[in-house]
Amino acid sequence: MTKDHLLGMYRTKLNHIKLTYASLVIWSYPDMPRVFKELHREILNSDNRGISGLFPDIERFIDDEASLRIATEELYSSAHRAAVKELLPITKYYCNSTGQLAELKAQPWFQFWRILRNCWSHDMKFNFNPDEKSKLPVVWSGVTIDISMNGRELKHGDCSYEKIRELIEIAQWFVQNEIA
């Protein structure tokens, strides 16, 4: 893996988050179900993209405001989780393979990212292992992860989407500017 490839992965994950945000905005528009149905029917009639009615119940889903709201919010949340879960091990791999793992581990946000990633990669709860417990509390950018959180889920109030994007952007800056 090259540094350019790794930076491309950061750009892709941040773009994925932006796209899911755009989806939230689009689906919040009151007339969007009608617009979607028109576009969907047009695509199905022309089948110019190889779409052949993969989801026969899609219009019922689009009309169900509660289900649509939950799904779009989960899409937005999952984009953030995927970025946190996927970028840390790839960044660690790159730093390890280039002899720069110590530089990564020295970053003030590294342990925070590691514990957050472990929470989301396992059962969506903080279950601190002995090594993590020895590093608690972990504080980064005004957000604290401490032993009292052991056994409970991470809530949006604990760490906002804005903080998660800030973490990803800081890690991206580190890769771009601090390592070879």
Q: How far apart are CA 84 and CA 106, in angstroms?
A: 18
Structural domain harbouring 114: 3-177
Q: What pLDDT, on the 0 to 100 scale, is given for residue 85?
A: 96
Q: What pLDDT, on the 0 to 100 scale, is given for residue 51?
A: 66
- The shares of helix, strand and coil residues in the chain, as percent rounded to the nearest 5, are 70, 5, 25
- The domain tally of the chain equals 1
Q: What is the CA radius of gyration of the chain?
A: 20
- Higher pLDDT residue, 79 or 43? 79
- As a whole number, the mean pLDDT across the chain is 93
Q: What is the pLDDT of residues 13-36, one digit of tens each?
A: 999 999 999 999 999 999 999 999
pLDDT-based confidence at 48, cuts 50/70/90?
low
Q: How far apart are CA 157 and CA 58, in angstroms?
A: 32
Q: What is the pLDDT of residues 89-134, one digit of tens each?
A: 999 999 999 999 999 999 999 999 999 999 998 888 999 999 999 9
pLDDT at residue 61 tops 80: yes
Q: What are phi and psi of 57, to 5 degrees?
A: -100, 15
pTM of the model: 0.91
